[in-house]
């Protein structure tokens, strides 16, 4: 479980996060949703320690992240996998080397064992014939799969995904969403997904937090999101013509 | 005031860079790769420029001291000293600031804007140490070899130019390059080169590491890296000359 407790984050004089508190549950896909510029990515990056928060606390299974010393932080980070918006694969390494990278850095396993683990992760994300290709030689969807495989190679407890299906076609986006949800269940991870895609919300949103201009405005599940009386959330959900049509026709 | 900001951040950056490597076996592999990328890949341009510069220095010296009372071998002597003292360390340093400096800044800058550096940090790896230290060690290690090759090739270029044009006969040139030779000049040139390699690799990495934005900013950082490295090379050339030759 990951808890955000009254998180404030400012860049110079501009306050981006204005006192966000939320709990992200183990074994579930927790979604942070909101418009572009609402502070989703800043919140996600603050939770993993890429941004130092101005005030508040972040707790991983009850332990304050801010109170950890460097060694403990480093150890915790080996339990974190992250899928970046642009995949963030290392250009100079092949697909297999990218997935093996965390194993090369943090294990003393033999090359054979590391390759075995990398191939397990490759199979798990259903990648075929891509081991020796470079990131620039594969499609966006495949890059996301490689990034997921890399994120799970060390068997992490926590998985963070920053807009995992941005830039993907709707079919591939659904496949990636499903993969994230399957992996979350299979490895019993605490997964936090940042998205503004309503298809993802309806597909994998077991717990949803809506952020608006740095505030948390709503928290719930995909089952009750359509029944909320909140103008900002309604504007966000029904910005899509399809969802608007569904609402207007009472489907 | 901006210069103090960069100076302070550069010092903090160096502290990160010189942290303990994550894994020694990986670190050694990276050094070997960087020696190839930064050093061996620069060999071609160093050789081409050195041959031509050696030839030009020799011919210009020959044309400018074309007096019967000055023996021809002095052309070889002057060319040798110019190449050893200034050309092979400083000019080659400036050329490498352009080639290697822009390469380092754009590579690290691109990794920053595509979140590859964030990915390293998330994994619990010190990105500055992992990415930059092998480059610094490799470049500092390989530059004496590049400068030594430049010296040999530059003097060889002078020999060829003098012989082919007939301005400086071969035996006189050979006598000139041996005349009053001071081995300390080699030590001086290599010492400068090592300092320049450190300047080029760390300053370029610094500009790349702190890029914010996209492709345009990576390009700007690359340019800033080359400009800042070149200015520092000139400054340290002056300081080292005063310290080592005074």
pLDDT digits (tens, 9 = 90+) for B165-208: 999 999 999 999 999 999 999 999 999 999 999 999 999 999 99
The answer to whether the Cβ–Cβ distance between A82 and B121 falls below 8 Å is no
Residue A127 is classified by DSSP as -
Residue B214: both structure tokens together: 């996209």
Instruction: Give the pLDDT band of residue B57 (cuts 50, 70, 90).
Output: very high
Q: How many helices (H) and strands (E) does chain A have?
A: 9, 10
| Segment B134-153, tens digit of pLDDT | 999 999 999 999 999 999 99
The answer to whether the Cβ–Cβ distance between B26 and A82 falls below 8 Å is no
Is residue B91's pLDDT more than 80? yes
In order of start, what are the domains of chain A with their CATH numbers?
2-79+159-248 (3.40.50.300), 92-155 (no CATH)
In Å, how far is A76's CA from the nearest CA of chain B? 8
Mean pLDDT rounded to a whole number for chain B: 94
* pLDDT recorded at residue A231: 83
Q: Does A242 touch chain B (CB under 8 A)?
A: no
The answer to whether the Cβ–Cβ distance between A48 and B122 falls below 8 Å is yes
Q: What is the 3-state secondary structure (H, E, C) of A54-74?
A: CEEEEEECCEECCCCCHHHHH
* pLDDT recorded at residue A250: 66
Is residue B28's pLDDT more than 90? yes
Taking contacts as CB-CB distances below 8 angstroms, the residues of chain A near B124 are 73-78, 106
In Å, how far is A43's CA from the nearest CA of chain B? 15
Question: Rounded to the nearest 5°, which phi and psi values hold at B201?
Answer: -70, -40
Is residue A242's pLDDT more than 80? no
Taking contacts as CB-CB distances below 8 angstroms, the residues of chain A near B23 are 104-105
Q: Does B123 touch chain A (CB under 8 A)?
A: yes
CB A158 within 8 A of CB A80: yes
Name which of A144, A140, A150, A64 is nearest A102 in CA terms.
A150
Chain A / chain B CB contacts < 8 angstroms: 48
Cα–Cα distance between A33 and B211 in angstroms, integer?
Answer: 28
Q: How many helices (H) and strands (E) does chain B have?
A: 11, 0
* pLDDT recorded at residue A222: 83
Q: Does A244 touch chain B (CB under 8 A)?
A: no
CB A178 within 8 A of CB A148: no
Is residue A247's pLDDT more than 90? no
In Å, how far is A218's CA from the nearest CA of chain B? 28
Question: Rounded to the nearest 5°, which phi and psi values hold at A90?
Answer: -80, 115
* pLDDT recorded at residue A245: 74
| Segment B203-240, tens digit of pLDDT | 999 999 999 999 999 999 999 999 999 999 999 999 99
Where are chain B's structural domains? 25-245
Q: Is the ipTM of this complex over 0.90?
A: no
Is residue A229's pLDDT more than 90? no
Taking contacts as CB-CB distances below 8 angstroms, the residues of chain A near B123 are 77-78, 101-102, 105-106
Q: Does A89 touch chain B (CB under 8 A)?
A: yes
CB A33 within 8 A of CB A218: no
The answer to which of A107-121, A169-183, B26-40 has the lowest mean pLDDT is A169-183
Residue A222: both structure tokens together: 């995909």
Identify the residue with better confidence: B232 or A86.
B232
Residues 6+ apart with CB under 8 A from A249: none
The answer to whether the Cβ–Cβ distance between B26 and A106 falls below 8 Å is no
Q: Does B215 touch chain A (CB under 8 A)?
A: no
Average pLDDT over residues A58-87: 90
Cα–Cα distance between A84 and A147 in angstroms, integer?
Answer: 8
Is residue B24's pLDDT more than 70? yes
Q: Does B124 touch chain A (CB under 8 A)?
A: yes
| Segment A196-211, tens digit of pLDDT | 888 888 888 889 999 9
- Name the closest residue on chain A to residue B116, using Cα atoms: A88
Taking contacts as CB-CB distances below 8 angstroms, the residues of chain A near B122 are 48, 50, 77, 80, 82, 160
The answer to whether the Cβ–Cβ distance between A105 and B26 falls below 8 Å is yes
Cα–Cα distance between A117 and A123 in angstroms, integer?
Answer: 10
CB A122 within 8 A of CB A103: no
Q: Does A84 touch chain B (CB under 8 A)?
A: yes
Average pLDDT over residues A65-72: 89
- Residue A214, classed as helix, strand or coil, is coil
Average pLDDT over residues B19-39: 92
Cα–Cα distance between B26 and B22 in angstroms, integer?
Answer: 8
Residue of B16, B115, B121 to mutate, testing the A interface (most A Cβ within 10 Å of its Cβ): B115
């Amino acid at each position: 479980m990951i808890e955000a407790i009254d998180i404030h984050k400012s860049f110079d004089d501009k306050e981006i996060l204005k006192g966000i508190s939320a709990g992200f549950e183990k074994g579930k896909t927790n979604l942070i949703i909101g418009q572009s510029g609402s502070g989703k990515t800043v919140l996600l990056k603050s939770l993993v320690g890429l941004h130092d928060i101005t005030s508040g606390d972040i707790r991983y299974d009850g332990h304050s992240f801010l109170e950890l010393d460097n060694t403990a932080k480093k150890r915790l980070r080996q339990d974190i996998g992250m899928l970046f918006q642009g995949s963030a694969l290392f250009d100079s390494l092949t697909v297999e080397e990218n997935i093996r990278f965390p194993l090369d850095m943090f294990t003393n396993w033999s090359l054979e064992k590391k390759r075995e683990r990398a191939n397990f992760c490759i199979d798990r994300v259903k990648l075929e014939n891509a081991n020796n290709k470079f990131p620039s030689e594969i499609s966006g969807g495949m890059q996301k799969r490689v990034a997921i495989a890399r994120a799970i190679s060390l068997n992490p407890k926590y998985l963070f995904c920053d807009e995992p299906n941005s830039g993907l076609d709707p079919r591939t986006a659904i496949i990636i969403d499903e993969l994230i949800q399957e992996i979350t269940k299979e490895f019993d991870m605490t997964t936090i997904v940042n998205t503004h895609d309503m298809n993802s919300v309806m597909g994998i949103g077991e717990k949803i937090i809506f952020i608006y201009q740095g505030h948390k405005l709503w928290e719930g599940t995909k089952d009750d999101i359509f029944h909320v009386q909140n103008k900002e959330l309604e504007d966000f959900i029904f910005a899509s013509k399809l969802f608007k049509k569904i609402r207007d026709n009472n489907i | 005031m901006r210069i103090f900001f960069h100076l302070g951040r550069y010092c903090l950056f160096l502290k990160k860079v010189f942290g303990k490597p994550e894994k020694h076996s990986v670190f050694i592999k990276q050094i070997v790769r960087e020696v190839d990328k930064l050093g061996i890949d620069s060999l071609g341009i160093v050789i081409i420029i050195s041959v031509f510069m050696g030839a030009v220095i020799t011919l210009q010296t020959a044309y400018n001291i074309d007096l019967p009372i000055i023996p021809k071998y002095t052309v070889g002597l002057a060319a040798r000293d110019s190449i050893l003292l200034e050309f092979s360390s400083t000019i080659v340093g400036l050329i490498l600031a352009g080639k290697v400096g822009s390469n380092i800044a754009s590579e690290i800058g691109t990794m920053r804007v595509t979140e590859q550096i964030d990915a390293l940090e998330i994994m619990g790896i010190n990105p500055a140490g992992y990415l930059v230290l092998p480059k610094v060690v490799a470049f500092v290690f390989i530059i004496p070899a590049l400068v030594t090759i430049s010296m040999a090739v530059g003097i060889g270029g002078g020999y060829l130019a003098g012989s082919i044009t007939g301005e400086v006969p071969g035996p006189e040139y050979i006598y000139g390059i041996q005349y009053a030779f001071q081995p300390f000049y080699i030590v001086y040139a290599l010492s400068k080169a090592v300092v320049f390699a450190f300047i080029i690799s760390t300053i370029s990495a610094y500009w790349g590491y702190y890029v914010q934005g996209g492709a345009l900013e990576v390009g700007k950082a690359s340019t800033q890296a080359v400009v800042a490295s070149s200015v520092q090379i000139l400054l340290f050339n002056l300081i080292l000359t005063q310290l080592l030759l005074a």
